[in-house]
Amino acid sequence: MAMPCPSCKAPLGLTLDFIIKNPVSVCPHCQVIMNFSASKVATDDLKKGLKQIEDLKKKYSNIAKFD
Ligand SMILES: [Zn+2]
């Protein structure tokens, strides 16, 4: 999983593993200091997971409507 810069959205090529080990990094594109705490990353992952569940629910509700 690669994280984009939260400021300039440039792809950083940082993996979740790297961020957990190095929670404070500097963006090479805009020099913003990024402070990824492990809990913040976990929260983002949770949000993504929840969004995927919501998308699936929408899919299934659409299927149900056409039935
Ligand atoms: Zn940046």
Instruction: Determine the structural domain holding residue 54 and report its residue range.
Output: 2-66
User: What stretches of the chain adopt beta strand conformation (E)?
Assistant: 2-4, 11-15, 24-26, 33-35
Query: How many structural domains does the chain have?
Result: 1
Low-confidence ranges of the chain (pLDDT < 50): none
Q: How many angstroms is it from 57 CA to the middle of ligand 1?
A: 34
**Cα(33) to centroid(ligand 1), Å:** 9
pLDDT score for 64: 61
pLDDT of res. 43 = 67
Residues 13, 30: Cα–Cα separation, whole Å: 15
For residue 58, what pLDDT is reported?
Answer: 84
Give 34 Cα–ligand 1 centroid separation in angstroms: 9
Q: Compute, in angstroms, the gap from residue 44 CA to the centroid of ligand 1.
A: 18
Q: How far is the CA of 16 from the centre of ligand 1 (A)?
A: 17
